[in-house]
Amino acid sequence: MKNIEIQIAETFNSIDDIQKAEAPYFFNTRVQAKLNQRLAVTESSWLPKWKPIWAITTLTILLSINIYSFIQKKKIKTTKSTNTTESANLEGFSNTYNLNSSLAY
């Protein structure tokens, strides 16, 4: 145990006179390059970023337009068919009672 205690103390002491590590050569140049690259990307990205909220909003709008046009189309069809039935009924009625007769009394 005493031996271990000595080893632990030596391990802790091993960093007592530690010198600072130096940044690699041309570090400054690399940082400048990275910064320029980052700034160029920021300047070129003038379009708003494609976030999920935009995707959901666009999808909702497209779906609403589709549903609206589908309902409208159905409405027009129904009106058309009602009109056709009505005119057929009137024709039948006039034929039954011979109202189309061109005889003059």
Partner 1 sequence: MNEIQLIQSLQQGDKNAFSFLVDTYQHMVFNTILSIVQQQEEAEDVAQEVFVQAFISITKFRGDSKISTWLYRIAITKTLDHQRKKRSKKRFGLLKNVFAIGLQEEQVADFYHPGVQLENKEKSAILFKALQNLPSQQRIAFTLIKIEGLNYEDTSSIMQISIKAIESLMHRAKLNLRNQLINYYQSNK
Closer by beta carbon to partner 1, 36 or else 57: 36
Closer by beta carbon to partner 1, 27 or else 70: 27
Neighbours of 53 (CB within 10 A): 8
Instruction: Return residues touching partner 1 (CB under 8 A).
Output: 4, 7-8, 10-15, 17-24, 27-28, 30-32, 34-35, 38
Name the minimum Å distance from CB 49 to partner 1: 17
Name the minimum Å distance from CB 17 to partner 1: 6
DSSP alpha helix (H) spans, 14-51: 27-44
**CA dist., res. 85 & res. 66, Å (int):** 29
Closer by beta carbon to partner 1, 35 or else 62: 35
Query: Which residues, in sequence order, are CB contacts of 48 under 8 Å at separation 6+?
Result: 54
Name the minimum Å distance from CB 74 to partner 1: 50
- The answer to whether the beta carbons of residues 64 and 70 sit under 8 Å apart is no
Q: Is the dihedral of CA 79, 82, 84, 90 positive or negative?
A: negative
Closer by beta carbon to partner 1, 15 or else 104: 15
Name the minimum Å distance from CB 32 to partner 1: 7
